[in-house]
Amino acid sequence: MTLPKLMNRYLSDLPETAYQAQAPRQPSAPYWLLANLPLGKDLGLPEHTLTGDAGARLWSGACLPTDAEPVALAYAGHQFGMAVPQLGDGRALIIGQLMHADGDWRDLQLKGSGPTAFSRRGDGLAALGPVLREYLVSEAMHALGIATTRSLAALGSGESIAREFGPEPGAILVRVARSHLRFGSFEYFAHRGDEAALKRLADTAIAWHFPTLQRVPAPLRYQQLLSALVDQTAGLISEWMRVGFIHGVLNTDNMSIAGETLDYGPCAFMDGYRHDQVYSAVDRGGRYAYNQQPPIGQWNLTRLAECLLPLLDDDQTQAIDTAEAILDEYSQRFQQHHERALLRKIGLLSDTTDQRRMAVELSNQLLALMHTQACDFTMTFRLLGEHPPSEPAQIERLKWWFNHDPAVDDWIAAYTQALSAAAISEPERQAQMATANPLYIARNHQIEAAIDAARQGNLKPAERLIRVLRTPYTEQPGAEDLAQPPALEQIVTTTFCGT
């Protein structure tokens, strides 16, 4: 089977201690679950490579291209606040890179491809449920316009694997990313006191993801790298907040240097709004709750900055002062990103300071109302954007939606007045809101229904769901059920890691 030529820049650009060569495990009878033909086209892959038995053998790792050089990456991390000096790819192998249509390289990673040197007594395999969840959610995030790793293919292995709640069908995900460099990649070398490797890693990260910084002399180059990562992280987390996404396991090893949402384990999109919502079964203390994601972003950046100190200045005291000054920018940058997202969500983007302040206050008041009444996060904003807020019928709809909370009357009046003061027309308001507020998200109950059907050999629900999620901001005839919040008996309260 002919493929574009693969390269593996990890072998040429990183220290040898940053990875381990490893052949994938041979699955017994690989078969197709889902194939992402549009992404394959962007990667220059012939369509026939994503179909048929030969394609299934290729992407499951049973028959890799001759120029593939699979490696498992080494990294460390802080997991739920605790430092772990060595983690690494325990069930994933990067087989190489292909050039994307945008002119940038993309990693191709097989997830669930068997044990590696970093498996820590795990089997290195993946189950069908978590593989389909990551495929659906990562592609949904991409369609929402949020930076993310993507999914090229999901395949069954033809085998049963042992998991906590019983045997599961085995599966392999082909993940696509700008890179798999993580905050934890820097922690790995910092734990070992290997400053030469740390510097090489930093220079590689700059070359791959911030190439304009290559012309900046050291140590300013590394200071600007940290600053760029501060802004990138603030922007990414503000986008998660915009759509009600909760990552669920926001450890430093799950923070991408490329600025992509990485590792869809016990993640979830919120249904009923609670500012402290938690779905992840492993997040027992709520460390990574919805409203804790912004401060955790800064906490994780601080751990990264600690690793970079030897590169920021030869004088340690000055390096610490420099790092603290850069990290102090995070709160303001997050607030800027987040406020703009909030104002788009209620259609009140404005250039004047007073109007912007009023709009932010209205946004926060609306969120407080939603929290009190546990209103569906996604549908509240879609409802608000459907009709003029001063229209009597719309006022009645909103009153009913908020369970006739007396505070909603005052909010509607203040919102209508703010729109008038900002001279925002109704078509302009609706246009702003339509691009900020999706109609379709990857809801927990819909994902679980698609997975349950796939376990029985029926992939039609998953195929339908991914088809609708590809255009999340536009109403699609026949997809009305996929826009609806779960019924009481459908609510999924807990999500689980795939390991």
How many Cβ atoms sit within 10 Å of the Cβ of residue 445?
A: 16
What gap in Å lies between CA 34 and CA 155, rounded to an integer?
7
Whole-number Å distance between alpha carbons of 233 and 290: 15
Partners of 30 in beta bridges: none
Record the tokens describing residue 454, joined without a space.
């796939």
Q: Is 3 left (phi over 0), alpha (psi -120 to 50) or beta?
A: beta
- Smallest CA-to-CA distance from 53 within 173, 156, 125 is with 156
The candidate with the shortest Cα–Cα distance to 490, out of 439, 459, 449, 441, is 449
Annotated active-site residue 203? The verdict is: no
Euclidean distance between CA atoms 10 and 499, whole angstroms? 25
- Would you call 21 helix, strand, or coil by DSSP? strand
Closest listed residue to residue 150, CA positions, set 101, 183, 201, 205: 101
Six token digits for residue 403: 């369970």
Q: Which of 107, 203, 253, 313 is catalytic?
A: 253
Q: What DSSP string describes 75-86?
A: --EEETTEEES-
Label residues 322-355 b or e (16+ Cβ within 10 Å = b). Answer: bbeebbeebeebbeebbbbbbbbbbbbbbeeeeb
Q: Which amino acid is at 119?
A: S
Which 8-state DSSP code applies to residue 373? H
Active site residues: 253
